[in-house]
Amino acid sequence: HVQLVESGGGSVQPEGSLRLSCESSGITIRTYSMGWFRQAPGKQREGVAAIYAGGISTSYVGSVKGRFTISQDTAKNTIYLQMNSLKPEDSGVYYCAADSQNSGSGFDARTYDYWGHGTQVTVS
């Protein structure tokens, strides 16, 4: 049984920071591509950051480059999203996802097999 459990969301002022965590069970994250997605009210879900199997290569959507960092701790089977210099437009529900096929799609949500329930981030 696969579970992805996000934590670390909350409310923060603009230019503040948050670190999201996604603890995984039932999978070994080093063999999966893992991604962070977000969805704001009335908007489509968008990919934010991805880290590929092996944990070396990463991808970011343009709007967060230089501000967000995705990382993983294989001993804890957990991925993180460090978010700095937060902006109001970063607000939304953040989801963690796992791609067992390592498709390399980065931000194509259709290629991700498993999803967490999300954690709310509010910047205001």
Residues in the chain: 124
| Number of neighbours of residue 17 by Cβ within 10 angstroms | 11
The pLDDT score that the predictor gives to residue 55 is 86
4-39 confidence digits (pLDDT tens): 999 999 999 999 999 999 999 999 999 999 999 999
Closest to 71 (Cα-Cα) out of 120, 22, 108: 22
Contact 29, 45 (CB under 8 A): no
- Region 77-95 average pLDDT: 98
| 37: its two tokens | 């997605």
Instruction: Measure the N-to-C terminal CA separation of the chain; round to a whole number of Å.
Output: 37
